[in-house]
Amino acid sequence: MNNAVTIPAPAESLHLATTEIIFSRILVAIDFTAQTSQVLETAIAIAKCFHSEIVFLHAATPVIYGTGAEFIPVESYELNLEIAQQKMADLVAREPMLQSIKHREIVAYASAIHVVRQTVESEKIDLIIAGSHGASGLERLALGSVAESMLRHLGRPVLIVGPHSTPSVSPFSSILLASSLRPSALRAAQYASGLAEKFHSKLTLLHVIEHAPKTTQLGPELLDERIRKALDSLVPGDMNLYGKAQTLLEYGEPAEVISHVAKCEHASLIVCGVSEDAVLADHTLGSVLANVIRKATCPVLCVRHHFAA
């Protein structure tokens, strides 16, 4: 997932041991849109896999009419909070699968990023799940304009359920890792391989080059071989004991290729790394990630750069 052609580091230096992945507590962002059911089904499927506790979170806001400068009575806040709490209670009550899953609900008046950050820390959240409407990229996530802050600053993986994502009862049966082979992508590789080993999944590691190199120190064949070795080095040595792994090197528009490969491999999950310095609305990585989320028929796990212990 890379515009510029870079020569990966030697395979030995990129090799990572598999890290056990545990999602004990999952934070699910609820916005009561039509996509909420997809987010809920995805969260339940993952919680059943990990025997997780789910914390449902909604950041309530008052309904404002007029110019926005008017004084808002306390009663209006209280009424809107009560309405949001009742909608959350109804949502949970309508889902019978939640009877076997430990869960609770939080509805609060606060800025979305503030309540998310506070909850992530106080509840020791391992995974955040949110929906994306896909209208104009990541800025239209269920949590609105805080999407970039979630991915860049919370330090927890964020699972995004895109507009075309279909919930699966086996959310880890086929995992596609779209890797840039940069240091910022190594933690994502740990998550992909760790999940694949845990659930005996099919694992596909993909690197996409948008433009064929015109001139490099290596010839095209040697460059391809170097990249394939770098991808191979991300596969744990004992992976074949747990599942099937394959590596792919493709040329083309990154989001299109990733989406196409995901469909061909019947991916139930796409894993992508998020660079700490990527501004999602402007930088190449962000635009590719946003396009993948808009096109994907499965959830996308976004993992911020930072090595697992």
* 78 or 248, higher pLDDT: 248
pLDDT value at residue 228: 85
CATH number of 25-161: 3.40.50.620
pLDDT at 106 over 50: yes
Structure tokens at 12: 């030995």
* 82 or 11, higher pLDDT: 82
Where are the chain's structural domains? 11-19+167-304, 25-161
The CATH architecture annotation of domain 11-19+167-304 reads 3-Layer(aba) Sandwich (3.40)
| Amino acid at residue number 82 | E
pLDDT tens for each residue of 126-142? 999 988 876 554 544 44
Helices (H) and strands (E) in the chain, counts: 10, 10
pLDDT value at residue 18: 62
Tell me, yes or no, if the two domains 11-19+167-304 and 25-161 fold the same way.
yes
pLDDT tens for each residue of 135-174? 554 544 444 455 666 777 788 999 999 889 999 999 999 9
pLDDT at 62 over 80: no
Q: Model-level pTM greater than 0.95?
A: no
Answer whether 261's CB lies under 8 Å from 207's CB: no
The CA angle 155-18-272, to the nearest 5 degrees, is 45
